[in-house]
């Protein structure tokens, strides 16, 4: 069993959690045909919104697999203010024109959306579907994540 958190955009373009559930660990997400973002668990239509952070995306039609570390917010906030992550606003919010599969490998991190937030722990999987979001490590220990970004353009 795995906890799967799925994000989506509402009719006003605001990000929200379309699902936060424990599922069988065989197939955690899939896409098909014209449904490049996959079928939304809450049946909401998916519309591709523009990116705010093109510098972190894979090339059009490509993908990117990364193992990355998110520093505690007190450090990350200073890095963002210093321009270390172009396209992120002062609160760390950004949106990419990608479908992202993210799994926390070690630690726990807050995932903030426009309308809600949740804590994501080691072993949890996030399906980030072209939504505005920010990551916040609330404690003092960095968090390690695996991520796969798939271009939607």
pTM here is: 0.93
∠ CA 102-94-120, rounded to 5°: 35
∠ CA 114-118-119, rounded to 5°: 140
At the top level of CATH, the class of 2-151 is: mainly beta
pLDDT at position 72 is: 98
pLDDT at position 122 is: 97
Over 80: is that where the pLDDT of 7 sits? yes
Q: For a pLDDT cut of 90, what percent of the chain falls above it?
A: 81
Q: pLDDT, tens digit, for every residue of 88-98? A: 999 999 999 99
Give the pLDDT mean for 100-128. Answer: 97
Q: pLDDT, tens digit, for every residue of 50-78? A: 999 999 999 999 999 999 999 999 999 99
pLDDT at position 36 is: 81
Q: How far apart are the C-alpha atoms of 140 and 93, rounded to whole Å?
A: 21
């Amino acid at each position: 069993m795995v906890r799967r958190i799925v994000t989506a955009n509402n009719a006003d373009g605001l990000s929200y959690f379309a699902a936060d559930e424990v599922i069988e660990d065989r197939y955690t997400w899939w896409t098909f045909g014209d449904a490049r973002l996959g079928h939304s668990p809450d049946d909401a239509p998916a519309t591709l919104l523009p990116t705010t952070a093109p510098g972190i995306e894979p090339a059009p039609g490509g993908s990117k697999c990364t193992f990355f570390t998110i520093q505690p917010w007190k450090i990350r906030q200073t890095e963002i203010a210093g321009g270390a992550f172009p396209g992120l606003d002062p609160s760390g919010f950004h949106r990419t024109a990608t479908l992202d599969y993210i799994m926390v490998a070690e630690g726990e991190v807050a995932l903030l959306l426009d309308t809600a937030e949740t804590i994501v722990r080691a072993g949890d999987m996030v399906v980030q579907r072209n939504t505005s979001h920010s990551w916040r490590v609330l404690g003092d220990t960095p968090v390690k994540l695996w991520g796969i970004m798939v271009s939607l353009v």
